[in-house]
């Protein structure tokens, strides 16, 4: 019995800010961004787009290649950007996808690790329910205060993937290395819109956790470093993933994993799997049979290294041209527009376009009202 990723897709905002523009207005060198942290653009979200709208768009694409969406009886929404401490964001996704009424739906949180955690839960569920498929959505929008060191890493995106037996894209292997530690490197109190963080501590603990997880992974699997053909890392910004790669692997294929994230920004829970999708879409060589290593890190902190083997015929399930067109068709905004959108002072829900077919149309007494575009 094999279990893994059967279908995968992603989405992001219709709008972006060039970091060249940001550098000019922050009076810093553009090289500090494009070379120093490995980023060139960041997704910016207008009032009508949020973690739900992009999640629906990603999920619809991921389900488009699933023969029977009624097989989906579990939906896990992984996020650290939830706008409600009670109701799951997954409930909205469930509604607009038209999933069966007896499909379980709930949110899962542990910083940027949450989508990887959802995958581990989905594996057990799929093992015990052979006919079932699990839809996992990781969706986040990250914001930092203006001029903060984290500002150029802002962004957001949603990943959606289906987990099942006999997967068509990636078979997840049963062993892993995990490390949990109580540290305060990144946190977001409920009453604050922006995250608080200790960047140096976070970077240190990321790399420390990678070493620990790798040691435990190799002990649990009896594999060697040479058995892993390439690796994908959680990428809060490109330079962090490069440091991780240089510390442990030195894979030349790393560049392929960072193409999408470098023009989206930090997508938190979606980040690791967007890097995987970027690798699939841009690798020139056939990856069939290749063992891919995955390192997920969620501040606070939980980290895990696991692996999967790429399935024969995986290329038939990709939508590289569609992904690249989505990114190419985004609209660049000015710095003044960025400031308005960041501050939240501009709440015109009808002015902006959407990346997908669902928009946030209004907020009434804290009720978020979503509707299909066109009514």
Token reading at 139: 């969706």
- Whether 232 is catalytic is no
Domain edge (last residue) among 314, 337, 363: 314
Tell whether 11 and 123 lie within a shared domain.
yes
- What pLDDT score was predicted for residue 344? 77
Average pLDDT of span 124-153: 95
Q: What is the 3-state secondary structure of 271-303? A: HHHHHHHHHHHHCCCCCCCCEEEEEEEECCCEE
For residues 92 and 278, give the distance between their C-alpha atoms in angstroms, rounded to a whole number. 27
26 by Cβ neighbours in 10 Å (0-12 / 13-18 / 19+) ranks as middle
Tell whether 352 and 264 lie within a shared domain.
no
Site of tokens 């060249």: 20
pLDDT at 7 over 80: yes
Tell whether 14 and 150 lie within a shared domain.
yes
- What pLDDT score was predicted for residue 112? 97
The single residue of 34, 49, 94, 112 carrying the catalytic annotation is 112
pLDDT above 90 coverage of the chain, percent: 93
Tell whether 176 and 266 lie within a shared domain.
yes
pLDDT class of 5 with cuts at 50, 70, 90: very high
The domain of 221 spans 172-314
For residues 328 and 23, give the distance between their C-alpha atoms in angstroms, rounded to a whole number. 22
Q: For the chain, give percent helix, strand, coil, nearest 5.
A: 35, 30, 35
Token reading at 308: 């999967």
For residues 139 and 123, give the distance between their C-alpha atoms in angstroms, rounded to a whole number. 20
pLDDT class of 346 with cuts at 50, 70, 90: low
| Structural domains in the chain (count) | 2
- What pLDDT score was predicted for residue 68? 94
pLDDT at 35 over 90: yes
Tell whether 34 and 157 lie within a shared domain.
yes
Tell whether 179 and 292 lie within a shared domain.
yes
Site of tokens 């819109």: 193
- Whether 101 is catalytic is no
pLDDT at 357 over 80: yes
For residues 271 and 113, give the distance between their C-alpha atoms in angstroms, rounded to a whole number. 9
pLDDT at 375 over 90: no
Domain CATH number, residue 271: 3.40.47.10
The single residue of 34, 234, 268, 304 carrying the catalytic annotation is 234
Closest among 122, 205, 203, 192 to 164, alpha carbons compared: 122
Of 150-164, 194-208, 275-289, 339-353, the least confident: 339-353
Token reading at 269: 């829970």
| Rounded (5°) CA angle 198-199-204 | 105
For residues 151 and 112, give the distance between their C-alpha atoms in angstroms, rounded to a whole number. 17
The single residue of 34, 49, 80, 173 carrying the catalytic annotation is 80
pLDDT class of 193 with cuts at 50, 70, 90: confident
Mean pLDDT for the chain overall: 96
Closest among 83, 76, 75, 74 to 51, alpha carbons compared: 83
Strands lying side by side in the sheet with 3-12: 104-108, 72-78, 133-142, 155-165, 3-12, 170-180, 302-310, 291-298, 230-233
For residues 214 and 129, give the distance between their C-alpha atoms in angstroms, rounded to a whole number. 30
Tell whether 267 and 339 lie within a shared domain.
no
- What pLDDT score was predicted for residue 173? 98
Higher-scoring residue by pLDDT: 214, 344? 214
Tell whether 65 and 198 lie within a shared domain.
no
pLDDT above 70 coverage of the chain, percent: 99
Tell whether 67 and 125 lie within a shared domain.
yes
Find out whether 43 and 155 touch, Cβ atoms under 8 Å. yes
Q: Which residues contact 102 (CB under 8 A, 6 or more apart)?
A: 73
Per-residue pLDDT tens digits for 261-290: 999 999 999 999 999 999 999 999 999 999
- Whether 67 is catalytic is no
């Amino acid at each position: 019995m094999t279990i893994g990723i059967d279908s995968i897709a992603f989405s992001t905002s219709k709008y972006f800010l060039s970091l060249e523009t940001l550098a000019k207005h922050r009076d810093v060198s553009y090289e500090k961004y494009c070379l120093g942290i490995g980023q060139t653009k960041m997704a910016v979200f207008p009032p009508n787009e949020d973690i739900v709208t992009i999640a629906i768009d990603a999920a619809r694409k991921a389900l488009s290649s699933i023969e029977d969406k009624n097989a989906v009886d579990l939906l896990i929404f992984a996020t650290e950007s939830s706008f409600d401490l009670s109701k799951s964001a997954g409930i909205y996704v469930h509604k607009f996808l038209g999933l069966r009424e007896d499909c379980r739906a709930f949110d899962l949180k542990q910083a940027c690790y949450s989508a990887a955690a959802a995958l581990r839960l989905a594996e057990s569920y799929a093992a015990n329910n052979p006919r079932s498929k699990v839809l996992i959505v990781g969706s986040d929008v990250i914001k930092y205060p203006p001029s903060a060191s984290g500002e150029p890493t802002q962004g957001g995106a949603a990943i959606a993937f289906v987990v099942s037996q006999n997967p068509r894209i990636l078979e997840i292997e049963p062993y892993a290395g995990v490390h949990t530690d109580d540290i305060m490197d990144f946190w977001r109190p409920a009453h604050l819109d922006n995250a608080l963080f200790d960047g140096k501590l976070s970077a240190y603990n990321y790399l420390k956790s990678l070493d620990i997880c790798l040691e435990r992974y190799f002990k649990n699997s009896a594999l060697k470093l040479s058995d892993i053909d390439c690796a994908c890392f959680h990428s809060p910004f490109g330079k962090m993933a490069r440091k991780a790669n240089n510390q442990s692997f030195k894979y030349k294929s790393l560049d392929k994993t960072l193409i999408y994230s470098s023009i989206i920004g930090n997508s938190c829970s979606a980040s690791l799997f967007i890097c995987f999708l970027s690798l699939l879409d841009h690798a020139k060589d056939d990856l069939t049979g290749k063992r891919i290593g995955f390192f997920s890190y969620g501040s606070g902190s939980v980290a895990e290294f696991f692996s999967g083997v790429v399935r024969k015929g995986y290329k038939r399930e990709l939508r590289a041209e569609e992904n690249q067109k989505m990114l190419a068709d985004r609209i660049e905004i000015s710095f003044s527009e960025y400031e308005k959108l960041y501050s939240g002072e501009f709440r015109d829900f009808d002015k902006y376009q959407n990346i997908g077919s669902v928009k946030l149309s209004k907020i009434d007494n804290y009720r978020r009202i979503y509707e299909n575009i066109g009514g």
